[in-house]
Amino acid sequence: MTIAQKLSFDVQLSDHARTAAEREQVLANPGWGQVFTDHMVSIDFTEGKGWHDARLEAYGPLVLDPATAVFHYAQELFEGLKAYRQANGSIVMFRPYANATRFNRSAQRMAMPELPEETFVESLDLLVNTDKEWVPTAEGHSLYLRPFMIATQPALGVNYPSKTYRYMVIASPAASYFTGGIKPVSVWLSTEYTRAAPGGTGFAKCGGNYAAAFVAQRQAVENGCDQVVWLDAHEHRYVEEMGGMNLFFVIGGKLVTPALTGTLLPGITRDSILELAGDLGLETEERLVSVEEWQAGCESGELTEVFACGTAAVVTPVGTVKGADRSWTIGDGTPGPITMRVREELVGIQYGARPDTHNWVHKIA
Ligand SMILES: *Cc1c(COP(=O)(O)O)cnc(C)c1O
């Protein structure tokens, strides 16, 4: 349910914000998702009352009853997007309303309350504006934003969803995913485990999907691969996703991506690339792609490139594939020209080097 109401945020600035020198030290080498800015946003929800107590305050730990529903039944969901510092100094986000829409689709699936899209975007604007000195200036760096929602009712009853929730946003400066050039990843085809089944939560961005995926990711690493590739739950035959990213195949010069069957996460990067393809003169196709087609296409030379895409690493080339009984290389194993062209275009729009012809850039400051 969406409760239409205008929330105003109570702003309590931190009395222990880091100094400029401390911040610069972090920004010189931010890593990924380990250091957080000085503030955070919280909004509470109570059944019958709606959203209330919207606030921005000092970043810090939460105190929660051990019986809190999220700890036991994983009623939780999240989003991920970035604030970029553009060449002209402005700070922008990329398609935040698309994240707001997806947040609410995830909320419906997890029996959680929807947050008005305006409030979602306003909460991001407020946090980024307050902590704007934390938006890195180094090339390829950004401020990663993590909105999320947890069930907060302290009760163990499993017959109904929680009656109370908390929405929060935290922010973390992030280095470029690739240090020292774009390097293709190797992938492991998981036939032992499944990420999502029809009717399940595959399309929702919920923590539970990740909890169930770690064992397969560990298996990928044990097999000498960087990332796990998920296949369909019925036959382990059709390609779905790679870790937390969507996949694209270049087949006969056309951009082909697995169709959104309900078990895939509908990536905003994926959607943006499907739209950008037209600008780049590339045809697109959304359909099923089997492992056999992938391997045979590489052997015949018809399938020339594969890349993964998502907010964190933007566009990542895939170089080699390994499964329980086979392995092969895509092209000559190096990043392909279409992969690099798509990457350049998308990064160009995000950082302001290319015109924003699709109206995707949301200016904050
Ligand atoms: C977030 C996510 C993606 C990528 O989505 P973007 O909106 O492009 O960042 C892909 N797959 C999974 C499982 C994800 O959680």
Atom of ligand 1 nearest to the CA of 81: 9
Q: How far apart are CA 206 and CA 103, in angstroms?
A: 10
Specify whether 47 is located in the same domain as 195.
no
Amino acid at site 119: T
Out of 206, 246, 276, 307, mutate this one to test ligand 1's pocket (max ligand atoms within 8 Å of CB): namely 246
Q: Which residues of 224-263 are buried (b: 16+ CB within 10 A; e: fewer)?
A: ebbbbbbbbbeebebbbbbbbbbbbbbbeeebbbbebeeb
Same domain, 162 and 16: yes
Contact status, residue 196 vs residue 206, Cβ threshold 8 Å: no
Residue ID of nearest Cα to ligand 1 atom 14? 244
Instruction: Give residue 110 CA to ligand 1 midpoint distance, Å.
Output: 17
- Out of 120, 146, 174, pick the residue that ends a domain: 174
Specify if 248 maps to a domain: yes
| CATH code of the domain in which 258 resides | 3.20.10.10
Q: CA–CA separation, 224 vs 219, rounded Å?
A: 9
Amino acid 4: pLDDT = 53
Q: What is the DSSP string of 82-97?
A: EEEE-TTS-EEEESHH
Q: Are residues 201 and 269 in the same domain?
A: yes
Instruction: List the CATH number of the domain containing 133.
Output: 3.30.470.10
Residue 3 domain-assigned (yes or no) = no
* CA dihedral (260, 266, 267, 269) positive or negative: positive
Do the domain assignments include residue 201? yes
Query: Is there a domain that residue 92 lies in?
Result: yes
**Structural domain of 169:** 10-174
Q: pLDDT at position 5, please? A: 59
CA-based nearest residue to 9, from 32, 46, 49, 39: 39
Q: Closest residue (by CA) to atom 15 of ligand 1?
A: 244
Q: What distance in angstroms lies between residue 256's CA and the mean position of ligand 1's atoms?
A: 17
> Is the distance from CB of 336 to CB of 305 less than 8 angstroms?
yes
Of 268, 269, 259, 220, give the one whose Cα is nearest residue 243.
220
Q: 337 and 215 in one domain?
A: yes
**4 domain-assigned:** no
Please state the atom number of ligand 1 nearest to the C-alpha of residue 309. 8
Burial of 67 (0-12, 13-18, 19+ CB in 10 A): exposed
For ligand 1, atom 5, which residue shows the shortest CA distance? 267
- What's the rounded Cα separation, in Å, for the pair 26 and 17? 13
Residue at 136 is within a domain? yes
Residues 199 and 298 placed together within one structural domain of the fold: yes
Size of the chain in residues: 365
Domain end among 174, 209, 224: 174
Answer yes or no: is the C-beta of 331 below 6 A from any ligand 1 atom: no
Whether 151 and 198 share a structural domain = no
pLDDT, position 1: 46
Same domain? 289 vs 189 = yes
Q: Which pair of structure tokens corresponds to residue 330?
A: 């895509």
- Alpha helices, DSSP H, located in 59-177: 69-73, 96-109, 117-130
C-alpha 308/C-alpha 22 separation (Å) is 35
73 in a structural domain: yes
Q: Which of 129, 149, 174 is the last residue of a domain?
A: 174
Do residue 224 and residue 324 come from a single domain?
A: yes
Q: 193 and 157 in one domain? A: no
Q: Is 200 in the pocket of ligand 1 (CB under 6 A)?
A: no
The answer to whether residues 225 and 279 belong to one domain is yes
Same-domain pairing of 223 and 339: yes
Q: How far is the CA of 312 from the centre of ligand 1 (A)?
A: 9
* 193 shares a domain with 97: no
Q: What is the pLDDT of residue 156?
A: 92
Atom of ligand 1 nearest to the CA of 270: 8
CB 258 within 8 A of CB 288: yes
Q: What is the pLDDT of residue 159?
A: 79
Q: How many domains does the structure of the chain reveal?
A: 2
Encode the chain (365 residues) as per-residue pLDDT tens digits: 445 557 899 999 999 999 999 999 999 999 889 999 999 999 999 999 999 999 999 999 999 999 999 999 999 999 999 999 998 999 999 999 999 999 999 999 999 999 999 999 999 999 999 999 999 999 899 999 999 999 999 999 877 899 999 999 999 999 987 766 789 999 999 999 999 999 999 999 999 999 999 999 999 999 999 999 999 999 999 999 999 999 999 999 999 999 999 999 999 999 999 999 999 999 999 999 999 999 999 999 999 999 999 999 999 999 999 999 999 999 999 999 999 999 999 999 999 999 999 999 999 99
Q: The tokens 């092209």 sit on which residue?
A: 331
- What's the 246 CA to ligand 1 centre distance in angstroms? 7
Residue 356 lies in a domain: no
For ligand 1, atom 12: residue with the closest CA:
244
Q: Which has the closest alpha carbon to 87: 32, 140, 126?
A: 140
Rounded to the nearest whole angstrom, what is the distance from the C-alpha of residue 297 to the centroid of ligand 1?
Answer: 26
DSSP, res 273: H
* CB-CB contact of 107 with 77 (8 Å): yes
